[in-house]
């Protein structure tokens, strides 16, 4: 049965990669197979939004759908799905009738006793949560076993599908010539992904753009629009309602996020076939995630504040922008020029000897004259891409004798440098001020340093150093939240430490102690079992339940 379930997950991933619009039907098949294998009565899938704040129902299989649809959206930390997402760990009960964490009273009233929420995780994101429910508690062990088997594959597959949606939309938007055409490219992509009838874009200020001018019902609630505040709105859904929506059937309004701020709202109208569900919400949010930054919606900079000539992101995937334009590895002409930039940025401000650069780029070839000549050609190629054409406007790569350093005299931003400054700032502060600085820093930490080069020794020390800074900031954030009585925020901070470093035993023990102190012994026991697996045996901390 396990083999059949894995085949179904593989089929689902393959199908969605080719045709993401089949999400709802593919998920239904997957959940039906999951019910069959586990013997559970009901299965659900919630997907997380890109901002990692909400979970949205995208599929249900089993009986009693109206009762389970009582809540189609959960905040992280709210209800069983939200607790699993916020804590990045399974949440279960075999006493649903008396478990205060469960929020859907209609399900409780139908005689369900067992409920399991299992998070779908990648190293740096919650992709979603699988829920299984049963009236008989004897099926929970089999359910755990099945979810442990498929969760990593399913999480990775769904993340790839959602990211692929965003990348396709980004490519489509970039091909458009004008700002208006770029917005229309995004809207047309939303229509295709959701089989919607028409779509409209409303920026916070400026021109409204429509795929079908004059056909979309006008919005009566532009002032104080919930979507402008970051809320998803769906007509007919009480938990996602908007006062301006009555009379506008089958309408979804979505905030467009860029740089942590809402830049505008897209409204999508779907065909009037049955009740409007939440299935389309998460895919629409993910598909606009990457493209919004290309629409030119950010407010103009303050007069006299020019944009940085270089904007370099090193956490997660390496990304370079020059004067606002993203540079691809192909822009650098020579493959080693792109790698050379990574090496110099890693030692930013400090000189790197020519011999070290040769060893990093061409290991084992030494620093003979022919290799040095190759280095000089590569440096020249790098300068041609990064430095302004007029030499008087500044340099990026500076030569110090036989060494070179990344020391731009042009305006630039380097996320790793900003991260370090914000951590130091937080260390010098207390209370909410410190938490705000740490939050800004951790927002930059989208993954390990130069994560797309995991085996390059040149980056290992910097990667470890920055990871430890992130862990330090999260430990102190957890302590500050705990002192302020913010239990869920503290729990989230501890859980993120273990996402960054699953073998951080001190974090395992701190989280277990935190849960025990709040009498959450079931959760503490589950965390202890994960600790034991990471430890590779019986850890020094005794189990919470003895």
pLDDT tens column, 366-394: 888 899 999 999 999 999 999 887 655 67
Question: What is the Cα–Cα distance from 512 to 494, expressed in whole angstroms?
Answer: 10
> In terms of pLDDT, which residue wins out, 445 or 262?
445
Q: What is the pLDDT of residue 373?
A: 93
Checking if the pLDDT of 304 tops 70, the result is: no
Q: SS3 for 11?
A: helix
Residue 414 has pLDDT above 70, yes or no: yes
In angstroms, rounded to a whole number, what is the distance separating the alpha carbons of residues 32 and 166?
Answer: 28
Reported as a single tens digit per residue, the pLDDT across 205-264 is 888 999 998 888 777 656 668 888 888 888 877 777 777 775 566 788 889 887 667 889
pLDDT classification of 177: cutoffs 50, 70, 90: confident
Is residue 28 within 8 A of residue 59, CB to CB? The reply is yes
pLDDT (tens digit per residue) in 315-332: 988 889 998 888 888 888
- pLDDT tens, 515-537? 999 888 888 898 898 899 888 88
Average pLDDT of the segment spanning 442-466? 85
The rounded distance, in Å, linking the Cα atoms of 91 and 94 is: 11
Locate 194 and state its tokens.
Answer: 């959701």
Read off the pLDDT of residues 127-163 as tens digits, 9 standing for 90 and up.
999 999 999 999 888 898 889 888 998 888 888 888 8
For the residues 385-404, what does the mean pLDDT come to? 81
Query: 3-class DSSP state for residue 529?
Result: helix
Contact indicator for 45, 29 with CB cutoff of 8 Å: no
Q: Who's near 57: CB < 8 A, 6+ residues apart?
A: 44, 45, 46, 69, 72, 73, 277, 278, 279
DSSP letter assigned to residue 449: B
pLDDT of residue 301: 54
Q: 0.85 cut: is pTM over it?
A: no
Of the candidates 58, 23, 22, 21, the one whose C-alpha atom is nearest the C-alpha of residue 43 is 58
Instruction: Please say whether the beta carbons of 230 and 320 come within 8 A.
Output: no
Strand, helix or coil for residue 251: strand
pLDDT in tens, 96-114: 999 989 999 999 999 999 9
Residue 157: half-sphere exposure toward Cβ, Cα within 13 Å:
23
Task: Give the position of tokens 């959701």.
Answer: 194
Residue 289 neighbours by CB distance under 10 Å? 21
The rounded mean pLDDT for the chain is 86
Query: Does 452 score more than 90 pLDDT?
Result: no
pLDDT digits (tens, 9 = 90+) for 280-296: 888 888 888 878 878 87
Whether residue 303 is predicted with pLDDT greater than 60 in this model: the reply is no
C-alpha span between 353 and 407 (Å, rounded): 15
pLDDT of residue 339: 92
Beta partners for residue 91, in sequence order: 117
- CB under 8 Å to 184, separation ≥6 — which residues? 176, 209, 211
Most confident of 1-15, 240-254, 437-451: 437-451
Indicate the angle between helix axes 505-517 and 487-500, nearest 10 degrees.
160
Among the residue ranges 210-224, 329-343, 427-441, the one predicted with the least confidence is: 210-224
* Strand ranges across the sheet with 198-203: 209-210, 198-203, 261-269, 251-258, 233-234
Query: What six digits make up the tokens of 176?
Result: 């458009």
Q: Mind listing the domains of the chain with CATH numbers? A: 2-166 (3.30.450.40), 175-294 (3.30.450.40), 310-410 (1.10.10.10), 415-535 (1.25.40.10)
């Amino acid at each position: 049965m396990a083999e059949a379930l894995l085949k179904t997950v593989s089929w689902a991933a393959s199908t969605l990669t080719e045709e993401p619009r089949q999400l709802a039907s593919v998920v239904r098949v997957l959940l039906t197979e999951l019910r069959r294998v586990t013997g559970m009565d009901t299965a659900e899938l919630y997907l997380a939004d890109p901002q990692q704040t909400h979970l949205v129902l995208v599929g249900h299989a089993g009986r009693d759908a109206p009762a389970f649809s009582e809540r189609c959206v959960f905040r992280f930390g709210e209800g069983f799905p939200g607790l699993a997402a916020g804590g990045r760990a399974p949440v279960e009960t075999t006493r649903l009738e008396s478990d205060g964490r469960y929020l859907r009273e209609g399900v409780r009233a139908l005689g369900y006793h067992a409920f399991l929420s299992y998070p779908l995780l990648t190293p740096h994101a919650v992709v979603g949560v699988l829920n299984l429910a049963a009236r008989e508690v004897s099926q929970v062990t089999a359910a755990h076993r099945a979810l442990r088997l498929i969760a990593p594959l399913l999480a990775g597959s769904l993340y790839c599908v959602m990211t692929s949606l965003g990348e396709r939309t980004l490519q489509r938007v970039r091909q458009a010539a004008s700002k208006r055409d770029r917005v229309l490219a995004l809207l047309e992509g939303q229509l295709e992904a959701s089989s919607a009838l028409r779509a409209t874009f409303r920026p916070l200020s400026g021109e409204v753009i429509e795929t079908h001018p004059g056909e979309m019902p006008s919005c009566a609630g532009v002032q104080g629009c919930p979507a402008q505040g970051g809320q998803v709105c769906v007509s007919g859904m009480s938990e996602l309602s908007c006062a301006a929506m009555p009379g506008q059937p089958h309408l979804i309004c979505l905030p467009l996020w860029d740089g942590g701020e809402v830049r505008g709202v897209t409204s999508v109208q779907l065909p009037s076939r049955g009740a409007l569900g939440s299935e389309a919400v998460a895919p629409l949010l993910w598909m606009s995630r990457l493209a919004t930054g290309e629409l030119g919606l950010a407010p103009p900079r303050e007069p006299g504040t020019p944009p940085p000539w270089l904007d370099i992101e090193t956490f997660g995937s390496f990304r370079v922008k020059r004067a606002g334009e993203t540079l691809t590895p192909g822009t650098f002409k020579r493959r080693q020029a792109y790698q050379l930039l990574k090496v110099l940025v890693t030692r930013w401000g400090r000189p790197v000897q020519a011999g070290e650069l040769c060893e990093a780029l061409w290991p084992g070839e030494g620093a003979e004259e022919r290799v040095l000549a190759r280095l000089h050609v590569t440096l020249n190629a790098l300068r041609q891409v990064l430095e302004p054409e007029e030499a008087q406007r500044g340099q990026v790569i500076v030569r110090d004798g036989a060494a070179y350093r990344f020391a731009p005299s042009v305006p630039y931003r380097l996320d790793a440098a900003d991260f370090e400054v914000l951590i130091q700032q937080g260390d010098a502060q207390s209370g909410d001020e410190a938490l705000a600085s740490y939050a800004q820093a951790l927002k930059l930490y989208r993954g390990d340093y130069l994560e797309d080069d995991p085996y390059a020794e040149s980056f290992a020390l910097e990667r470890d150093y920055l990871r430890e800074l992130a862990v330090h900031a999260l430990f102190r954030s957890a302590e500050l939240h705990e002192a302020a009585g913010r239990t869920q925020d503290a729990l989230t901070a501890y859980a993120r430490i273990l996402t960054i470093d699953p073998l951080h035993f001190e974090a395992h023990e701190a989280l277990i102690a935190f849960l025990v102190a709040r009498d959450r012994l079931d959760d503490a026991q589950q965390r202890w079992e994960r600790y034991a697996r990471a430890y590779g045996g019986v850890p020094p901390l005794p189990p919470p339940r003895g």
